[in-house]
Structure 1
Amino acid sequence: MSRLRALFAATCLLIAGFVAPAATLAAQSPIVLKDVLGREVTLAAPAQRVVLAQARHLPVLALIHPDPVSVLAGWSDELKSSFSSEYAEYLEAFPALARVPVVGRHTPDTFSVENTLAQRPDLVVLTAAFAGLRPGAAPQESAMLQRFAAAGVPVVIIDFFVDPLKNTVPSMRLLGRALGREEQAEQFIAFYEEHMARVARAAGQRKERPPVLVHAHAGSTDCCNSPGSGTFNDMITFAGGHNIGADTIRASTGQLSLEYINSRNPVVYVATGTGAQRRTGSGLAIGTGVAPDEARASLRRVIATQGLGALPAVREGNAHAIWHAFNDSPLHVVFIEALARWIDPAGNADIDPARTLDEINQRFLAVPMRGTFMIDLDEPGQRAGSAPG
Structure 2
Amino acid sequence: MVKSFVVLVFTFCASLVWADQVTVKDVLGRDVTFNAPAQRVIVGFYPEDYMAIGTEAAYDKVVGVSRYIWEARSANWEMYVKHRPSLQDIPAIGRVDTQTFSVEKVVSLNPDVLVLADWQYKGLGTDIERLESAGIKVIVVDYNAQTLERHIKSTELIGVITGQEKRAAAIAADYKNTVEMVNKRLADANLPAPKVYTEFGASGVQELGFTFGKNMWGAISTMAGGDNISAPFVEWWGKLNPEQVIASNPDVIVITGYETGKGTDSMLMGQGVDDTEARKRLEGYKNRLGWSTISAVQNNRLYGAYHGACRTILDAAMIEFYAKAMYPEVFSDLDPEQAYLDFYKKYLPATPEGIFTLAL
Counterpart check, 1:238 vs 2:238: no
Distance in 2, matches of 1:44 and 1:145, equals 20
The counterpart of 2:158, out of the listed 163, 175, 180, is 175
Q: How much does 1:68 deviate?
A: 4.2
Q: Tell me which stretches of 4 or more aligned residues in structure 1 moved more than 4 Å.
A: 23-26
Flag structure 2 segments of 5+ consecutive residues without an equivalent: 1-13
Structure 2 length normalisation: TM-score?
0.88
Match of 1:151 in 2: 134
The counterpart of 2:286, out of the listed 299, 303, 321, is 303
Counterpart check, 1:259 vs 2:237: no
CA change 1:38–1:316 in 2 (3 A) is same
CA deviation profile, 1:160-196 (whole Å, cap 9, x unmatched):
0135332010000010111011121111112111111
- Which amino acid in the other structure matches residue 260 of structure 1? Q
Match of 1:292 in 2: 275
Distance in 1, matches of 2:57 and 2:272, equals 22
Match of 2:183 in 1: 200
- 1:117-136 to structure 2, matched below 5 A, reads 117-132=107-122
Match of 1:136 in 2: none
Q: Is the contact made by 1:228 and 1:245 (CA closer than 8 Å) also made in structure 2?
A: yes
- Which amino acid in the other structure matches residue 302 of structure 1? Y
The counterpart of 1:58, out of the listed 47, 71, 79, is 47
Larger Rg: 1
- 1:1-389 to structure 2, matched below 5 A, reads 27-54=18-45, 57-64=46-53, 65-79=55-69, 81-105=71-95, 107=97, 109-132=99-122, 142-205=125-188, 206-217=190-201, 219-220=203-204, 222-223=207-208, 225-247=210-232, 249-277=233-261, 280-305=263-288, 308-377=291-360
CA change 1:32–1:313 in 2 (3 A) is same
Q: How much does 1:310 deviate?
A: 4.1
Q: How much does 1:59 deviate?
A: 0.7
CA deviation profile, 1:287-332 (whole Å, cap 9, x unmatched):
1111211211111123335553443212222110001222221122
Q: Is the contact made by 1:340 and 1:348 (CA closer than 8 Å) also made in structure 2?
A: yes
Q: How much does 1:230 deviate?
A: 3.5
Flag structure 1 segments of 5+ consecutive residues without an equivalent: 1-22, 134-140, 378-389
When the two chains are superposed, the root-mean-square deviation of aligned CA atoms in Å is: 2.4
Distance in 1, matches of 2:87 and 2:289, equals 39
Distance in 1, matches of 2:108 and 2:41, equals 12
Of all paired residues, the percent bearing the same amino acid is 27
Q: How much does 1:262 deviate?
A: 2.7
